[in-house]
Amino acid sequence: DAEITQSPRHKITETGRQVTLACHQTWNHNNMFWYRQDLGHGLRLIHYSYGVQDTNKGEVSDGYSVSRSNTEDLPLTLESAASSQTSVYFCASSEGGTNEKLFFGSGTQLSVL
């Protein structure tokens, strides 16, 4: 069955370090998204991609970057981790179109100490 997987599930890092969170989907979806989820804020969009070589900033993109070199993967990089980036990160994908349903990964719990 097609799926979307995130790794690692849990990550502890130190302030200032570079961190990369992986997201891999086998749906062959063109659209991929990264969200962070914090208490009181719900899911907030970090970056998204509509296809290979396409990336776009979301509402909370500062301090994050993504690259899309193939259809299946959209890694999220924190260039210099900050304590404010401690959060749960979710990757999602969709086929596209106006009725698009998002398929989410199980999330990565990131703690920046």
Partner 1 sequence: KNQVEQSPQSLIILEGKNCTLQCNYTVSPFSNLRWYKQDTGRGPVSLTIMTFSENTKSNGRYTATLDADTKQSSLHITASQLSDSASYICVGQGSYIPTFGRGTSLIVHP
Based on CB atoms, which residue is closest to partner 1, 65 or 102?
102
Count of residues of this chain found to bind partner 1 when the rule CB under 8 A is applied: 21
Roughly how many angstroms between the first and final C-alpha of the chain, as a whole number? Answer: 37
Cβ-based nearer residue to partner 1, 5 or 80: 5
Distance between CA atoms of 107 and 104, rounded to whole angstroms? Answer: 8
Closest CA to 12 of 85, 105, 76: 85
Shortest distance in whole angstroms from residue 113 CB to partner 1: 21
Site residues for partner 1 per CB under 8 A: 33, 35, 40-45, 48, 58, 90, 92, 98-102, 104-107
